Structure 1
């Protein structure tokens, strides 16, 4: 099963989700990330955060959804609703869900406040990924049930 974490810039949230998912998931599941308008680089604080969590960072890059190595089975957008962002709509016949998370790249304030924004995004995404990975195999195989579960997981904070 291939999961695509999608946002606009593909520099923070979707990269954090991709790396965290791949760190936690069994070998038969794989995550990738992309953006509709990629920034071209992974935010340095994303790399710092992932390394601090013991998650490998090699090979991750900001990339376009036009250059995916495989067609995803599930697309999860991670753009933040509260920030007034427009999430890209992935074109393809795949199961879709929205797990909105505020963009830590837009955080302002002290170093501690900015770092706290990255930590918050990571914790929310990790909790949602863990909930997804805890689903019963039967739920994952039934698209209607899986869609409902993915939508429910979106409320975890």
Structure 2
């Protein structure tokens, strides 16, 4: 019997940094159990180069990453999502499209490193911090025994991860 592969969608407003990082991390850390996707309510149109710098060491194919609208995932024929996470506070407050299949949702607030001003070193440190925070949460998420948990228990666990430091 083949183990289910869970589709996970990460949402942010611009889909250029945090949701992109999360897409790559869930796929690379999930050992084949998770397939990551990302989208935005108002996509920036390109992926932030400093985000790509953080993702590159994971081995995720950078050419697969693109900034896109969340409407792509609400359209007929789109992959059905098992989980949907918002990673920015703005997207969490927006009216999302209807997601087929009633995926489990949670909010994992991550500060936007793209708004950090200052030296290049200071900006890179902010991107590293956001990447580290997402990676820490992802480590917990991909280790959950999903096949053993009820939908309510999964929802409670995911909400708790979003409150973690």
C-alpha contact (below 8 Å) 1:50/1:56 kept by paired residues:
no
1:58 aligns to what SS in structure 2? helix
- Superposition RMSD in Å: 1.6
1:17-96 aligned at under 5 Å gives the runs 17-68=22-73, 69-80=78-89, 85-87=90-92, 88-90=94-96, 91-92=98-99, 93-96=102-105
Q: Which has the higher helix share?
A: 2
Q: Is the 8 A contact 1:37 1:64 kept in 2?
A: yes
Q: Which moves more between the two structures, 66-75 or 99-108?
A: 66-75
Give the superposition deviation at 1:66. 1.1
What TM-score, normalized to structure 2?
Answer: 0.85
Q: 2:124 aligns with which of 106, 115, 121?
A: 115
When the two structures are superposed, what TM-score results if normalisation uses the length of structure 1? 0.89
Q: What runs of 5+ residues in structure 1 fail to find an aligned partner?
A: none
Give 1:86 deviation, angstroms. 4.8
Matching of residues 75-154 of structure 1 within 5 Å: 75-80=84-89, 85-87=90-92, 88-90=94-96, 91-92=98-99, 93-139=102-148, 141-154=149-162
The worse-fitting range, judged by mean Cα deviation, of 94-103 and 68-77 is 68-77
> Of 141, 154, 163, which aligns to 1:155?
163
